[in-house]
Structure 1
Amino acid sequence: MQAEQIPLSYRRYALGLLLAVNLLNYIDRQVLFAVFPLIKADLNISDTELGLLGSAFMLSYMVIAPVFGWLGDHWDRVKLASSGVVVWSLATVLAGFAPGYRTLLSARATVGVGEASFGTVSPGLIADFFPKDQRGRILSWFYVAIPVGSAMGYLLGGVLGHRFGWHAAFLMVGLPGMLLALPLWFLRTPERGGDRSSEEVAEEKGMAGYLQLFRNRAFVTNTLAMAAMTFAIGGLAQWIPTFLFRVHAQDVEKANTLFGSTTVLAGILGTLAGGWLGDRWQKKSSKGYLLVSGWGFFIGAPFAAWAIMAPALPVCMAAIFVAEFFLFLNTGPLNTVIINVTRPAVRAMAFAVNIFFIHALGDAVSPSMLGWLSDQCGLRLALLSTPLVMALAGVLCFVCGRYVAHDMAQAEP
């Protein structure tokens, strides 16, 4: 059916359902990092091995994403997304029964496979439900699941891990995903491209359309900016709770509660503000989304450095709040740029390619890289790489702004 034939109430229901699934996505993804100290002590592993648990997820996530990108452009998107929910939920439960390091490593890699299915198709689904001039705000609501789900992962992981052990933390956060797989399976969706005919969209499919992504300069530079952002977010998200545990002498539950509550507040405010500002600035300039993100990175970088070097816990947490606000500010705008500069027929693959590169260059390497640096020179110095990468992301956003108007015009029907 055409997008305009779907009642607004059902569009909102669809957004709410996809938001709820994305929330569980990030809870299951981040709960691992909440119980890092418990896993390290129980399994007697190094920081490098600990970091590899995060990298295993990201490696499978990014490698399998192009497969689901192709499937998402040719098959039923909601069926792919629903199947992915089942896979990652069962894998998270399996982690709760892991007797040792290798089983846990395998379970986390399988979580990445399931989440890749959902991550490649869901942004395009949302774009087809709503008009172009609302995409920044609508996608910001969808991506608010990143800070909220991440924070809930830290909070639930910290509390459950402290009281019942890390096995119980995985088991209890993995089960709820099964409840949302069924309604997602039966979700009614508009035709690809929203108000465009299915015949017109179908004509754009094929290898030529996919290869065009790599000649799309706005898509390429935007993806590189998101890779730098993902490196920074991954580094901070996966090691700050442990940083609070080691440097500021907080126990596991309190460290995760502090970081989780800070992340959820800064993330909600930053994500929603970014969507609103992006839509507003985009009406004045074709590079409005990129201006919001570029300045967001430049403002947030020094606060990230301040948080890492601050001797007092209150100053550290205040600086983390500001840094995370300006990091999450960019989520809606940068994902909206992907949609705006790519044609509907190849959007699932566009997000798959984006997923591959932002994680290959970002948080697939940052957990183990920071773990290795921590083993060599201490966690505080290792974390100082993150604000440098944030500044690089800002530069790339402004470079992308030079190309975005041309590539948006090329993506128009």
Structure 2
Amino acid sequence: MAYIFSFIDRQIMGALSPSIKADLGFEDWQLGLLKGFGFALLYTTVGIPIAWLADRYSRIKIISISVFFWSLFTAFTGMANSFTSMLIARTGVGIGEAGGSPPSHSIISDLYPKEKRASALGVYSLGIPIGIAFSYILAGILVETLGWRGTLIALGVAGVVLALIIALAVREPKRGQMEGDNIVLEPVSIGKSIKTLAKIPSWWAMCMGIAWVSFGGYAVANWGVDYIVRFLPEYAPGVGNGKFRWLMLMLGSIHLVGYGAGTYYGAVITEKLAKKNISAYGWLPGAVLIIGVPALIGAFWVQNIYLHLALITVYLISAGVYLGPSFAAAQTLAPINMRAMSTALFFLILNLIALGGGPSYIGLLSSALTGHYGEVHALRLAITS
């Protein structure tokens, strides 16, 4: 639930972007920074000291405090009246979300043996497609009744309630309990953790592979709605014909079904193949993208909304496959007393490149090309690149 909420609060800006642009008059480069580096810069760096705490202290407390903090700043985002104030609020959301995944991955690794970690983390990773799906669906339901501001405030209040439930209902497992009774865990410094993990070639290669796949994924997730409402203005929010709500429902559904299926079955299939050859953790997530990436590019050159959504679905199925295997590898390759740190460093690399770079890059390039190509084709070229 915490991971679902983190992705709702993270991705809702992509769904609300046309409404924010119409209300506050932001340019694409400003929207790109709000969706990208404004959120990701401190999200990635603050994750390192939080992971250091999670390898030593109560992970449940860290998660509940983090959910409370990012939910509060989600509500503050809805109150912002300028680019600067919204950028500060989005940075606050990023700082809060930094405390979500590192302790969560560490907890799950203490609940499941390494042979079952890919599927367990695959289930946890369903928070991504479910969260993204609900960000679209909730935007479609709420934005035309509460407005973009009311939508963000409502999500913030719901997150605060969830934080209290986590603090009261979830128990902390014994650290290292799946590794045997004779495990002696010594605290490790941040510097030593970084040096140890950086010397594991498969860990490093996995991080870089995921980062560049996700660069495109985050770019499209944050700009896909903007592209559609520019290309087909009848789907814009506030037109009153019901098409925006339909579009949000369709985007939510294909993320839930397509991305969800790729995430879950990718983890399960990889786990089975890895029993014969452990290299499946690397080659299977890469191989499916041979189909997925051309479908992603093609989606922005077709002229039909249904074909666009179909091609996006093909891409989402392939894009979900890496999540469970990669998260499991990050945990299994890392020493027990560095697991939260492994996830934090993993997300540092992933999100600086992908979550920070992808949306920001599209916004900057689209702004640069708009004068010559117009808003629609400029955004199409930026996404294609």
Q: 1:281 to 1:49 in 2, by over 3 A?
A: same
2:186 is matched with 203
The counterpart of 2:313, out of the listed 306, 311, 321, is 321
1:80 is matched with 62
- Contact 1:201–1:344 (Cα < 8 Å) also in 2: no
With structure 1 as the length reference, what TM-score do the two structures score? 0.85
Quote how far apart the aligned CAs of 1:32 are: 1.3
With structure 2 as the length reference, what TM-score do the two structures score? 0.91
- Contact 1:228–1:361 (Cα < 8 Å) also in 2: yes
Quote how far apart the aligned CAs of 1:199 are: 7.3
2:216 is matched with 232
2:236 is matched with 251
Q: Where do 5+ consecutive residues of structure 2 fail to align?
A: 238-243, 370-377
Q: Tell whether 2:162 aligns with 1:180.
A: yes
Distance 2:73 2:186 in 1: 38
1:277 is matched with 269
Distance 1:359 1:53 in 2: 14
- Secondary structure class of the residue paired with 1:365: helix
- Secondary structure class of the residue paired with 1:200: coil
Greater Cα shift, 153-162 or 104-113: 153-162
1:266 is matched with 258
Alignment deviations for residues 164-211 of structure 1 (CA, whole Å, 9 cap, x no partner): 211011011111122222342242232222333687342362343431
1:10 is matched with none
Distance 1:51 1:198 in 2: 49
Q: Where do 5+ consecutive residues of structure 1 fail to align?
A: 1-19, 386-413
Q: 1:198 to 1:70 in 2, by over 3 A?
A: farther
Q: 1:125 to 1:314 in 2, by over 3 A?
A: same
The counterpart of 2:76, out of the listed 60, 70, 94, is 94
Q: Tell whether 2:175 aligns with 1:192.
A: yes
Percent identical: 29
- Contact 1:35–1:158 (Cα < 8 Å) also in 2: no
Distance 1:84 1:71 in 2: 13
The counterpart of 2:205, out of the listed 221, 238, 248, is 221
- Contact 2:18–2:236 (Cα < 8 Å) also in 1: no
Q: Tell whether 2:352 aligns with 1:360.
A: yes
| RMSD (Å) for aligned C-alpha atoms | 1.6
1:382 is matched with 382
- Secondary structure class of the residue paired with 1:202: coil
- Secondary structure class of the residue paired with 1:205: coil
The counterpart of 1:293, out of the listed 276, 285, 294, is 285
2:225 is matched with 241
2:25 is matched with 44
Alignment deviations for residues 322-360 of structure 1 (CA, whole Å, 9 cap, x no partner): 001100121111111111211110011111111111111
- Contact 1:192–1:201 (Cα < 8 Å) also in 2: no
Quote how far apart the aligned CAs of 1:126 are: 0.7
User: Superposition pairs for residues 143-154 of structure 1, below 5 Å?
Assistant: 143-154=125-136
Distance 1:191 1:205 in 2: 18
Distance 1:194 1:287 in 2: 27
- Contact 2:112–2:178 (Cα < 8 Å) also in 1: no
Aligned residues: 366
Q: 1:165 to 1:349 in 2, by over 3 A?
A: same
Q: Tell whether 2:53 aligns with 1:68.
A: no
The counterpart of 2:333, out of the listed 338, 341, 345, is 341
